[in-house]
Chain A
Amino acid sequence: MTDMSETKMAPRDQGAPDYKINLHPVMLKNYGKWDYHERVRPGVLVHVAENGEKIWTIRAGSPRTLSADKVREICAVADKYCKGYLRFTTRANVEFLVDDESLIQPLIDEVEKGSLKFPVGGTGPSVSNVAHTQGWMHCNLPGSDAAGSVKALLDELIEDFKSERMPNRVHISSSCCQINCSSHADISVIVQHHHPPRINHSNMQICELPKVVAICPVAAIRPAVVNGHESVEVVKEKCMYCGACHGQCPSMEIRDAETDTLSIWVGGKTSNARTPPTLMKLAVWGLPNNPPRWPEVGQAVRTILDAYRKGGKAYERVGEWIERIGWQRFFEVTGFPFTRYHIEDSSDALLTFNRSTMVRI
């Protein structure tokens, strides 16, 4: 290391950046004084302040992973049209902010057809950008890729991003292993493992054994002496292949390139609007982990979205639509098989069964 003594590197604990210097002047001036907003067209919002001032937001889908040059291209657009101000959203959309209505169309043209080639959309009842994790580009645990699989999926869904033709907003997320770092969503793609971890006994001392025993949710891991060395053993019957141990200890390999599959979960939402937040439920399992374009996943998501678009009522999220029509009908209209694996077996299983005579016959 050069020129990096500990004295120089002493922590400065500066905290969060000053948001005020990063706010468009119209937003700063009207901070806390907004009156209403309207959706001008898909991808364009206008927020109107109490004093009548307006700020237009042009939302564009970004690939999240960007080169420094691409970030500079984004900055150039913001400098040209937005007085140099922009923001990003929870789902990695980039939002260009303008205070002059006449700049909207030129900005859209430049974002869509210039060097960025970002689609404009993602507002209102559309399919927004897909939230995702690191995948094979940088994570140490992934069973699948994130950025690439999401790019392939969004190629399938781009018209649903650019239009507002769904009953309500659709959030999709994609996680590259069973730990599910990605977010809850109306539709979510998750890796599933199908074997207990393979233990590299010769390498076990690289992790702390009590930790890897403690992390196991089902107490399937026990300390054991193997070949005269401290190691662990896994009770295969208890193990449910979650991969928690793998996150703790690289010597316990949960992934399998040949047998890992993908599953799709539906009906999660974090918003409290109309109905409380809901967890996602299993829709489809056993889809192949099929790079570079994962066509089976795209097809399954397309099937769900088409059925939702056809059957959902205005303002119903995916989960609310399914609860209204019933899960039996969800499996009918999507054509996905309902199997024994769709029946809950966790500690709240009893609460998930139909404890009534109410069925559609």
Chain B
Amino acid sequence: MALNTPLLDQLESGGWPSFVTDLKAYSNKRPQVGQLLNQLNESYENRWNYWIGTVLNVPGYGGGVIARLSQKADKYPDLAQFHTVRIIEPPGWVYNTSKLRELADASEKHGAGILQLHGMSGDVLLLGFDNDQSMSVAEELMEKGWDIGGSGGALRTLQCCVGQARCEMACYDTMKVTKHLTDTFIHYLHRPEFVYKFKFKLSGCANDCANAMMRSDMPIIGTWRGEMQVNQGKVKEYVKAKGRAYVIDNVITRCPTKCISLKDDDTLAVEHQDCVRCMHCINVMHKALKPGKDKGVTICMGGKRTLKIGDTIGIMIVPFMKLETDEDLDKLTEFVERVWEFWNDNGMDHERVGEFIARVGLSTFLAGIGIEPDARMVMRPRSSPYIKFEELAPSRFGGEQTKMPPVWNKEPETTEAAQAQR
């Protein structure tokens, strides 16, 4: 079939590399790609889309294939079934070329030979498979050690920054933890059984290069406790090179808690107890300043994009957790399981965990997952005085005043202990 893409052709000019030029050349090898471009050109002409979504699973898996049927299959028969297969990417999107070629070869052998590196959830996306080929490409790649990514109401493919592989700022091993969580919870990734999707994204520091805060249900962000490392000799070198005014304007005054000041001898004074580990001063003076030595993670919860209640940002849930030993990883695993149990038992259909927290309230959510309230979880305490103080309210049963009435979700022994106190 001849290419007929007058509108797409206009995307071949300009300095940025054009996927149109690439795919047009590739359509010589794969006529199916030419049909894709022709259909895309019709979309440009009519400002309309011709894909229908449907469901297809690799046997034994409940997700990972994004099935698409073309409405113009009579005209473009090779697009009748044109599915995407999601493949779990290596943590940090690192590749050796022999592995990357495996993806290119399998994609070309079984499908349209179009790859997207990478999707917004981190997956490798391989485009253009029919029902049978979706199975065969999965089969071939699994034989080479790859695995299928997540979709639907499931744990989604994890995404992390490059971390300690090539960054001095990373406060924990993002790649190792990503692999640990993926492998530990792979059942939940392959077989959707949640009320809705759940995403982890892992960043080594507060700069959040993995886009975790707003794009994941559980952002895991590297941090440290105690003092950051200050090399005063290198501070002096930096001040000498850049000048005092530059340092004051771009480091001192940009500190969110004003915990840093420049002394007369061109060294820094840091009130470490006020540091909120935002990373700005370290970003600017990264030879002189480094994260502290006692490293770990902060865990937030509930970041997501627009649907249904509008955009949400991760909420501080665990200010600091060590994440180095196997025991630390077990603690994280156990914490995740508690969150999933409470959310899935009580969440509504299509309710992300951030929306669930918004609906039931943060204090109810904390009680549900067994975490004590902490002042670091809020920007400020409440300003509305309408409160049901359960400790001070009349008992619901006997009408007696109690100091510590049962809270709805407490364990029986806790309730007995409370009654014994009365």
B-chain residues with CB within 8 Å of residue A270 when the two chains form the complex = 208, 211-215
Cα of A291 to Cα of B305 in the assembled complex, Å: 26
Q: Which residue of B lies closest to A275 (CB)?
A: B256
Q: B16 → chain A, closest Cβ, in Å?
A: 4
Is A64 on the interface with B (CB-CB < 8 A)? yes
Interface centre among B97, B142, B162, B254 (most CB of A within 10 A): B97
Are A71 and B94 in contact (CB-based, < 8 A)? no
**Stretch of A81-89, A193-201, A223-231, A329-337 with 4 or more beta carbons under 8 angstroms from chain B:** A81-89
A-chain residues with CB within 8 Å of residue B255 when the two chains form the complex = 274
Which residues, 59 to 80 on B, are CB-close (under 8 Å) to A? 59-61, 66, 68
Are B280 and A87 in contact (CB-based, < 8 A)? no
Are A36 and B14 in contact (CB-based, < 8 A)? no
Which residues, 247 to 287 on B, are CB-close (under 8 Å) to A? 249-250, 254-256, 277-280, 283-284, 286-287
Chain A interface mostly: loop
Interface centre among B13, B84, B168 (most CB of A within 10 A): B168
Contact with B along A137-168 (1 / 0, CB 8 A): 11111111101100110110010000000000
Size of the A side of the interface (Cβ < 8 Å), in residues, is 118
Cα of A16 to Cα of B101 in the assembled complex, Å: 18
Are A315 and B25 in contact (CB-based, < 8 A)? no
Known A17-B145, A117-B17: A178·B306 in contact at CB below 8 Å = yes
Are B94 and A4 in contact (CB-based, < 8 A)? no
Which residues, 43 to 91 on A, are CB-close (under 8 Å) to B? 47, 55, 57, 61-72, 74-75, 78-79, 84-90
Are B10 and A292 in contact (CB-based, < 8 A)? yes
Contact with B along A19-30 (1 / 0, CB 8 A): 101111001100
User: A57, A66, A182, A244: which contacts B19 (Cβ < 8 A)?
Assistant: A66
Interface centre among A21, A72, A90, A244 (most CB of B within 10 A): A90
Is B217 on the interface with A (CB-CB < 8 A)? no
Cα of A11 to Cα of B306 in the assembled complex, Å: 33
12 residue pairs A–B, Cβ–Cβ below 8 Å: A1-B135, A15-B183, A19-B179, A37-B286, A66-B19, A68-B26, A90-B209, A139-B49, A140-B68, A214-B349, A274-B280, A277-B213
10 nearest A-B residue pairs (beta carbon): A155-B14, A15-B183, A140-B53, A67-B26, A272-B206, A11-B60, A136-B43, A34-B168, A75-B97, A154-B16
B residues contacting A by CB (< 8 A) are 7-8, 10-11, 13-20, 22-23, 25-26, 29, 33, 36, 40, 43-44, 46-53, 58-61, 66, 68, 82, 84, 88-101, 103-105, 107-108, 113-118, 120, 127, 131-132, 135-136, 138-139, 142, 145-147, 158-159, 161-162, 164-168, 170, 173, 175, 178-179, 182-183, 186-187, 190, 206-215, 221, 249-250, 254-256, 277-280, 283-284, 286-287, 305-311, 313-314, 348-350
